[in-house]
Amino acid sequence: MDSFLIEGGLPLSGEVTISGSKNAVLPILAATLLTSETCIIRRVPDLSDVGFMLKILQSLGAEVTRDGGTLTIRAAKISGRGDYELIRKMRGSICILGPLLARLKEAVVSLPGGCVIGTRPIDLHLKGLRGLGAQVEVEAGYVRVHAPRLEGQMIFLGGRVGPTVLGTANLMMAATLASGITVIESAACEPEVVDLADFLIAMGAKITGAGSPTITIHGVKALHGADHEVIADRIEAGTFAAVAAATGGEVTLRGARPDHLGAVLDKLQEAGAEIRRAAGVLTVRGTGSIKPIDITTMPYSGFPTDMQAQLMALACQAPGTSIITERIFESRFMHASELMRLGADIAIEGPSAIVKGGRPLSGAPVMASDLRASAALVIAGLAAMGSTQVHRVYHLDRGYERMELKLQKLGARIQRIPGE
């Protein structure tokens, strides 16, 4: 397995172009299954998760061609049974369930996998599809859904820790071809849901309310092809903003969407970073004086769970005590023990991490446990003195496009070490 070797202790400065959003592009790719016509998707990031999704689409019968960041997909004739080995590797693959059911009236999909960051059941996905009239069975590692006819209904999708993003996406896609009107209450409000809705509308769907807790879908008989550009990845932008703050550098993020980063930028400013906004450009400068922070992860527009680990790495350098509370996933502090290998002082108390910062970080070998934990370890390694080797960076490749090359352009001393 590949690793990153980092020589830290340098302020990083320069420009980074933010890639298309991983969390937006996966359901958008799944949505191409809703039509037999050609769809063109632009600004598609070169990620392993995207590669898995394209293999899944091809295994279902879709034709896929790629030209740089532009994908052309035509799902003229498809089957309703997903490849078990491909789907089980990635949680985002569950979003093929809604489109397959809507178009073929039946689907068989394996239960998905993904990062080990806590229980992420798909019960709300299945509740939503049942609400449209589907028969659902879960057995032997597979989900089987069948519905001769989907009927629009009012469906409440609220869960124990708030709305479900992929569940909202799945139900919204299924409802586009259902009869009548579907109203999703307690829908996820994330920008990625809005981006999917924009693509579906471009395909001929009738959707209002995306980005609010109530989404209304008027079913149509068929959807057509469309041309769509994916939104910028707000988590990649937030990660590079944290890099600037943690290393005392200045990084300009081209293509970033500040309107999608409100909670993250607020906490970075609270930590002492300076933020400048302009059209299509966001600049973050670390002042070298990092302050403690208090964070609680929440559904959008609250602080995103996908930025919790990165801000914990920043908090390790802030003299004083920071408190980081995780309300979305119960096992998302696995990076804490690895940060402690670098010299961090972190105690886990239930859903909260208490970080006593200000102690110098020193390079050491560390092991990544999941995608965002990997990013946190890279940030800490860039700020630490000496050499840090981050193992298992295949997690990073799932969600960051050529991260080490972008960091090198900022002046980072980082290289990828190929695995044996």
Catalytic residues: 115
Token digits for 309? Answer: 């680990």
Chain CA centroid to CA 203, Å: 24
Strand partners, 255: none
The length of the chain in residues reads: 420
Distances in Å between the Cα of 337 and the Cα atoms of 4, 9, 369, 395 are: 18, 21, 11, 17
Alpha helices in 271-330, H assignment, sequence order: 308-315
Token digits for 347? Answer: 């105690």
Give the chain's radius of gyration (CA, Å): 21
Q: Is the four-CA dihedral 112, 116, 122, 124 of positive or negative sign?
A: negative
Token digits for 142? Answer: 């597979």
Token digits for 1? Answer: 């397995």
Phi, psi of 335 (to 5 degrees): -75, -20
Contact 80, 58 (CB under 8 A): no
CA distance 301 to 321: 25
Residues 6+ apart with CB under 8 A from 111: 88, 94, 122, 138, 141, 142, 143
